[in-house]
Amino acid sequence: MPSPIILAKKIYKTYQNNTLYVNALNGVDMELPQGALAMIYGPSGGGKSTLLHLIGGIDRVQSGYLEVDGVCLHSANEKQLTQFRRDKTGFVFQFYNLLPSLNALDNVCLPLLAKGESIKQARRKGLLVLQQVGLLDRQRHRPGQLSGGEQQRIAVARALIVEPVLVLADEPTGDLDSHSTIELMDLITSLNQNLGITFLIATHNIDIRSAATHLFEMKDGILKMI
């Protein structure tokens, strides 16, 4: 049995805004093997995005144990957390989050520039990942000159450029039509099967669930395998 890429034990997260407390995660347990293509379903407000943010090292658990690819996120210091975010994970969002003034290639290169790599080196790798998502010919186009489906594939390429072990996707098909949804899921499935990248996807879209190797439901801050 390969060791799990995600191991969570009784993780809790409460948001506080002034005097209002929201218990977003109420003791989440999770174990996911490396190479999985996992999906989390569940009602709005159930805690899906919160869990993805914790697993991606964007936010911190309140209490509990959270280990991702051998890194103990519950006890990591800021430096370790930043390193984890930059080296281990890629994020894909519902609305792509591309910079409108940069062309596709430069958008894809941003995570490497943030890590301090040279523009030349970043662009060399950028061209490779654009090829992987089938959009090499659109490298000079800006986001506004691309369809929603193409923009999301550029966002996937941006996630891939750091060679992550884990890609976290929050409602990645939420803004796509059915044709672009199929194209995106074909791409994700092929990256999962051919490169062994683990995917964890939060979604409301039941049409994509057949691609999943592991299915979860998240409700009231509790995660269950389904």
Ligand X SMILES: Nc1ncnc2c1ncn2[C@@H]1O[C@H](COP(=O)(O)OP(=O)(O)OP(=O)(O)O)[C@@H](O)[C@H]1O
201 binds ligand X (CB under 6 A): no
89 - beta bridge partners?
166
* Segment near Mg ion (CB under 5 A); pick from 30-38, 41-49, 74-82, 211-219: 41-49
> Binding to ligand X (CB under 6 A): which residues in 1-20?
15, 17
**Lookup: tokens for 188:** 């994700």
Tell me how far the alpha carbon of residue 71 is from its chain's centroid.
17
27 binds ligand X (CB under 6 A): no
Residue among 99, 100, 95 nearest 174 (CA) = 95
Minimum separation from the CB atom of position 75 to Mg ion (A): 26
Q: Give the neighbor-by-neighbor strand order of the sheet with 4-17.
A: 20-33, 4-17, 63-68, 71-72
49 binds Mg ion (CB under 5 A): yes
Q: Which residue, 130 or 159, is less far from Mg ion as judged by CB?
A: 159
All residues at 6 or more sequence positions from 140 whose CB lies less than 8 Å from its CB, including other chains: 103, 104, 105
Select the binding partner of residue 46 from Mg ion, ligand X, none (C-beta < 5 to 8 A, by kind): ligand X
Interacting residues with Mg ion (CB under 5 A): 48-49
Interacting residues with ligand X (CB under 6 A): 15, 17, 22, 24, 42, 44-50
